[in-house]
Structure 1
Amino acid sequence: FNPGALTNRVRASGMFGWTSPPGRGSAPPADVPDGPLDALARWSAEQPARPVYTFVGDRGEQLAQLSYAQLDAASDNVARHLRFVAKVEVGARALLVYPPGLDFIVAYLGCLRAGVIAVPAFPPEPTRLSKDLVHFAATQASSGARVALTNTLYSHAKKLAGLSQLLRRDGGKWPELTWIVTDTLGDAPAGTLERPPPSAVAFLQYTSGSTAEPKGVRITHANLTHNIRWIVAALQVDRATVEVSWLPQYHDMGLIGAYLGLLVCGGEGTYCSPFSFVKDAPLWPRLLSDKRATHTQAPSFAYALAARKWNALDPKARPALKLHSLRHAINGAEPIDPAAISAFVRAFGPYGLRREAIVPTYGLAEHTVFVCTGGKQLLAVERGALERERRAVPAAASGGANTTVAVGCGAPPAGSDIVIKIVDPDRAVSLYPPSTGVGVSRASEHAAPVGEIWVSSPSVADGYWTGEGRALNAALAQLSAETFGGVIAGEEASGRTYLRTGDLGFMHQGELFVCGRQKDLIIVRGRNHYPQDLERTAERAAPELRPGCAAIFAVPADEAASATSAEARAAAQRALGAEASAQELVVCVAEIRAEAAARAEEVAGRVAQAVASAHVLTLHAIVLIKQGTVFKTKSGKLSRSRTRADFL
């Protein structure tokens, strides 16, 4: 991939080389159902026999299928069992602990119908509890759930492993829970289930923990309804929609974007396990072809992985794909790598994939999931201005060491009430659009200010779950108030509050560009370095590193000294000179392929040289580790915070 060549073409046209499909961004159709429960009632009456969800195995073979009528009946039975048999109260929390499959979505909708707050959770692997149980126990403790829903398969595996008696190494016990197996329930007694009010909490979406400890986001029924309606508008989905997804069902983009969005529009969806995708990434494009999919979604790494694995196949063994029907493939949930988009289009363009189908998108759990989509611009900006001045200045030339490429994530749908502002977080001053009367000069049309992305709309969640009564977490309550109650200087009288996303970005020609997480920002000698840029440089300099498995972060100099040997400290002192006494030092932890381990020192040298040359930044330590050991969140995102903690 040559970002310079692509960017030169982009700068002339102002976009990736495509235009958005006609009609994208219009208002939601007037007859869109009012949320998942309204959709379920409507479609089960209008098209009861039509399949809504189909789940397939590693080879694409059908494992389970539900029609709209079957989904309605099964979720209603779960709801009535929870309320009238298990006596779970309205507003109580229930953990959803399911392996990939359709039992999860039945239980989730059952909770919504019963007024029970669903808590989607990653199911701890019974044979690897030391890795998974800590996160699960933290989620249970935070939510205060006393009930867990699961299916026969997981319940059996749990019992075989003697899960209920297992102790963690630190002495902690498996949480005390009442387990309900939902796929073998008998008919629950009849009874009236009152529809929860819009203001009621529908579920807790626990953030993946890529930058901090997981926090439960309170998503109300009103949040869900508003966000899904604008997803429907932005993606132009309807009953003709055919969805294909491998995303985790407990993750916001999978649950809301792939499952609930499909339910609301009344289409058909085919799903597989994320483990099936990881084992055989070309399964995804094969399913897109076989099902004549119109919509799909995935993070940036998945596009690169699918292209790489497809290209590794013997050309004679590649099936003939038909991807002409794919209209909208969301690329989001993590920083978007333009090289991943280019690789995916090169690999699958010959099979009818249209370049404009790959659509950069921005969203986060605290805004239910969706903020904006329709990204078209690929912008080369001056690295120095971005790092030193927090300004995005379009580069006169591109592709060199002094430029970096940013990907536009589009804008909220036209006519929506989703408001995005770029804000100086220290002064709460709007940089874009510029505040008036607060000492801010209007931004130059040739230089966009970089600040924190603030968002306001009815999709902004109800805050973080902070516990109840004596279990109230005062520190988290304070964080919730600060995160969800941002007020911009000069707007106090309006009463409008904003979600402070913690993401840094800028606006250019009507599109949002996301630079990275504020907490991940590396500041050395007054220059701002975005870790994903450094990680891409490292990976491209050394193909021996596994893609998407390098984490670069800063550590205090005194802590770095205690984390490394005397020999390493001496080597760093010689290499860094005066910089070794700086307050913050930069560390790279990356997975190296097994066959390249013997050349680790040479690989590390190339990484150090590339980062120094491209970013004028010295790496204090480069730690090369074996495959499969870098920390990632349950949704597959790189966890720099956990990697940093492990390094220290």
Structure 2
Amino acid sequence: MLEHLQKATGGALHLYGGYDEDDPAEVIPYREFPARILAYAEHFRRQGVGPGTRVLFPFETSAPVVLAFLALMQAGALPLSVKPLLLASPKPEYEAFLRRVAQEHAADRVLLTPGLATVDLPVTALTLPSTPPGTGLDVEGAQLRTPADDEPAFVQFSSGSTAFPKGIPVLHGRLRANLAMIARTDGRRPGERVSSWLPLYHDMGLVGGLLSCLFTDVDLLLSDPLSFLADCPGWWEQMGREQAVGTVIPNFAVDYSLKLLQAAGPERLEGLDLSRVRSIYLGSEPIDIPHLRAFSDLMAPAGLRRDVFMPCYGMAETVLLVSSRPPGSEIRVVDGPSGVPAISLGPPMPEFSLRLRGSDGKLCGERELGEIELAGGTLADGYLGTGRPLAGPDGFYRTGDTGFVDDGELFVTGRISDRIKVNGQSLFAVDFEQAIERLPFVSPGRTAVIQSDGRIVVLTALRREARADPEGCRTRLVEHLVSTLGVTVRPLDVHYLSSSQLLRTSSGKLRRRELAEQYAAGEFGRVD
């Protein structure tokens, strides 16, 4: 990774605080990165950082923090990329999170980012430079090292949807290999521009957004998640204005963009030109197929082609990418083994071996539902600090995801832990959640479906205008599930909650196991 920055010629990091056309970006050409990284690395060495030093790294979106991340790798230290203190997050809970990560992974230091100024730190603080160093150094003479393939580059963490996040050491060689997969999949070229607002502590934001651009000498238009949430239409306008050719987003961004752009009216799309966009990686969570189609229809007048969307599959355990639909090919949707439509996530990268195993322990054939198992490619050796290999004796890693293969392409249907068997069918919590959230009276992104004592339980939040008729909404919801999935849910098992009661991971995934435990313990009070 570092050696690619050494060769950079024309690319640059463009850091935005918002999407107003009159608000200029902070621009740092990649050719200046080596000098700045070396200056940051020297600043950290003076504080006792050296090869092997483990640094808790709350990855805020700023130029100093990005440079600090690269500088720690230059110094041979090991950054542990964790979520920063998020807006409105309880400080005691975050402090407990940092303490646990530091204790479980023997962290020596924690990077003192601006967001941690009032946080009780579990280990010694590592300070950022008081003034940005490196600008006056010899740019041409700055020489970054080339780390060995088997040297750890950084640690990223699993989503934590079913347990406390697990640390995955990313080796430099596997990082290079996965970044090469991304580059060849979307065909990016130096001089082009890619936009990202994803959090940098998440594998999609860090590897798919930041590092893939540094690796390929492609301009990165970088903003933070709050900017996107505050002005989602402005982000799409900036994509067009700056002639970005691609981005990487979760399904949430499609749902959110559809809602806000529909509400803004057609005049907000006037003059928007997205005809240069060539590739939009779409991953991290199940894709709502009707919403994707509706969004494609909405954005077609702006020149956004349907074939730019690239549904993909990946995970922190493989650095990132495992499979993806190539750009320029039509999105393929088929009925899965249970009859529910599923979207193709493309063929697996040839570096991986992929197979599926059924609940009976036998390997699956074409279109048979099973757990996805992976071997080879950029799969990690194991989780940090466990001493146990990630893969089994035969070299395959059980992902916990279920799906099927059709004509060589992968279709993911959900998590094993979220499987709901009804009348011999294998449905998944997300099938119910997506169906429910198409109802006009349900708040988008505010539904979780769990099983308790064999019953299907719906936890959802109503839109404000629908709360006057909770029983009517409950009846319509039950009827809707019968008509769409052929499943009957008892009205008594439909519960209305406040949105804050639906637990999520730092990357936004529902923590269904914890929700089921809370429901079984009677911790949810009805708000209807």
**TM-based fold match above 0.5:** yes
User: 1:485: which partner in 2?
Assistant: 392
User: 1:179: which partner in 2?
Assistant: 126
Residue 74 in structure 1 maps to residue 36 in structure 2: yes
Question: Contact 1:80 / 1:193 at 8 angstroms: preserved in 2?
Answer: no
* Mapped partners of 1:587, 1:121: distance in 2: 33
User: 2:193: which partner in 1?
Assistant: 242
Q: What amino acid maps onto 2:43 in structure 1?
A: H
Q: What amino acid maps onto 2:191 in structure 1?
A: A
Can you list the C-alpha shifts for 1:365-392, whole angstroms capped at 9, x where unaligned? 111100011164533426xx52xxxxxx
Can you list the C-alpha shifts for 1:224-244, whole angstroms capped at 9, x where unaligned? 011111111111112032101
What's the CA shift for 1:287?
Answer: 1.6
User: 2:332: which partner in 1?
Assistant: 378
Residue 270 in structure 1 maps to residue 270 in structure 2: no
Q: What amino acid maps onto 1:635 in structure 2?
A: S
Farther-moved stretch of structure 1 (357-366 vs 527-536)? 527-536
Which of residues 392, 396, 416 in structure 2 aligns to 1:518?
416
Which of residues 112, 116, 119 in structure 1 aligns to 2:73?
112
Q: What amino acid maps onto 2:66 in structure 1?
A: I
User: 2:429: which partner in 1?
Assistant: 531
For residues 286-435 of structure 1, the aligned pairs below 5 Å read: 286-374=237-325, 376-381=330-335, 385-386=337-338, 403-413=339-349, 416-424=350-358, 427=361, 429-432=362-365
Q: What amino acid maps onto 1:408 in structure 2?
A: S
Name the structure, 1 or 2, with higher relative contact order (CA <8 Å, separation 6+): 1
* Mapped partners of 1:356, 1:38: distance in 2: 34
Residue 219 in structure 1 maps to residue 170 in structure 2: yes
SS in 1 for 2:148: coil
* Mapped partners of 1:40, 1:510: distance in 2: 36
What's the CA shift for 1:191?
Answer: 12
TM-score (ref. length: structure 2)? 0.89
Which of residues 129, 134, 149 in structure 1 aligns to 2:111?
149
Which of residues 494, 502, 507 in structure 2 aligns to 1:622?
494
* Mapped partners of 1:247, 1:362: distance in 2: 17
SS in 2 for 1:532: helix
* Mapped partners of 2:267, 2:149: distance in 1: 55
Which of residues 449, 459, 464 in structure 1 aligns to 2:378?
459
Q: What amino acid maps onto 1:278 in structure 2?
A: L
Residue 643 in structure 1 maps to residue 515 in structure 2: yes
- Describe the shift of the 1:326–1:300 C-alpha distance in structure 2 as closer, same or farther (beyond 3 A): same
* Mapped partners of 1:278, 1:612: distance in 2: 34
User: 2:526: which partner in 1?
Assistant: none
- Describe the shift of the 1:290–1:102 C-alpha distance in structure 2 as closer, same or farther (beyond 3 A): same
User: 2:458: which partner in 1?
Assistant: 588
SS in 2 for 1:330: strand
What's the CA shift for 1:182?
Answer: 4.1
Structure 1 unaligned runs (5+)? 1-35, 165-173, 387-402, 433-442, 467-475, 488-496, 558-583
User: 1:88: which partner in 2?
Assistant: 49
* Mapped partners of 1:629, 1:277: distance in 2: 24
Q: What amino acid maps onto 2:5 in structure 1?
A: L
Question: Contact 2:3 / 2:144 at 8 angstroms: preserved in 1?
Answer: no
For residues 187-198 of structure 1, the aligned pairs below 5 Å read: 195-198=146-149
Larger radius of gyration: 1
Question: Contact 2:504 / 2:510 at 8 angstroms: preserved in 1?
Answer: yes
TM-score (ref. length: structure 1)? 0.73
Aligned residues: 509
Structure 2 unaligned runs (5+)? 522-528
- Which protein has the bigger helix share? 1
* Mapped partners of 1:339, 1:56: distance in 2: 32
What's the CA shift for 1:425?
Answer: 6.2
Q: What amino acid maps onto 2:124 in structure 1?
A: L
Can you list the C-alpha shifts for 1:610-637, whole angstroms capped at 9, x where unaligned? 2244232425622212244422221222
Q: What amino acid maps onto 2:4 in structure 1?
A: A
- Describe the shift of the 1:192–1:359 C-alpha distance in structure 2 as closer, same or farther (beyond 3 A): closer
Question: Contact 1:548 / 1:638 at 8 angstroms: preserved in 2?
Answer: no
What's the CA shift for 1:327?
Answer: 0.3
Residue 550 in structure 1 maps to residue 447 in structure 2: yes
SS in 2 for 1:312: helix
Question: Contact 2:375 / 2:391 at 8 angstroms: preserved in 1?
Answer: no
Question: Contact 1:52 / 1:266 at 8 angstroms: preserved in 2?
Answer: no
* Mapped partners of 1:234, 1:96: distance in 2: 30
What's the CA shift for 1:486?
Answer: 5.5
Question: Contact 1:146 / 1:178 at 8 angstroms: preserved in 2?
Answer: no
User: 1:504: which partner in 2?
Assistant: 402
Residue 634 in structure 1 maps to residue 506 in structure 2: yes
* Mapped partners of 2:57, 2:12: distance in 1: 23
Q: What amino acid maps onto 2:392 in structure 1?
A: G
- Describe the shift of the 1:136–1:287 C-alpha distance in structure 2 as closer, same or farther (beyond 3 A): farther
* Mapped partners of 2:50, 2:471: distance in 1: 60
What's the CA shift for 1:585?
Answer: 2.1
Q: What amino acid maps onto 2:449 in structure 1?
A: I
What's the CA shift for 1:98?
Answer: 4.3
What's the CA shift for 1:320?
Answer: 1.3
Q: Identity rate of aligned residues, in percent? A: 27
Q: What amino acid maps onto 1:638 in structure 2?
A: L
What's the CA shift for 1:591?
Answer: 2.4
Farther-moved stretch of structure 1 (281-290 vs 506-515)? 281-290
* Mapped partners of 2:181, 2:416: distance in 1: 27
* Mapped partners of 2:184, 2:347: distance in 1: 13
Question: Contact 2:324 / 2:345 at 8 angstroms: preserved in 1?
Answer: yes
* Mapped partners of 1:140, 1:285: distance in 2: 38
User: 1:253: which partner in 2?
Assistant: 204
Q: What amino acid maps onto 1:81 in structure 2?
A: H
Q: Give the superposed CA RMSD.
A: 2.6
Q: What amino acid maps onto 1:38 in structure 2?
A: E
What's the CA shift for 1:192?
Answer: 9.7
- Describe the shift of the 1:486–1:342 C-alpha distance in structure 2 as closer, same or farther (beyond 3 A): farther
Question: Contact 1:422 / 1:431 at 8 angstroms: preserved in 2?
Answer: yes
User: 1:610: which partner in 2?
Assistant: 480
What's the CA shift for 1:598?
Answer: 2.5
Farther-moved stretch of structure 1 (301-310 vs 71-80)? 71-80
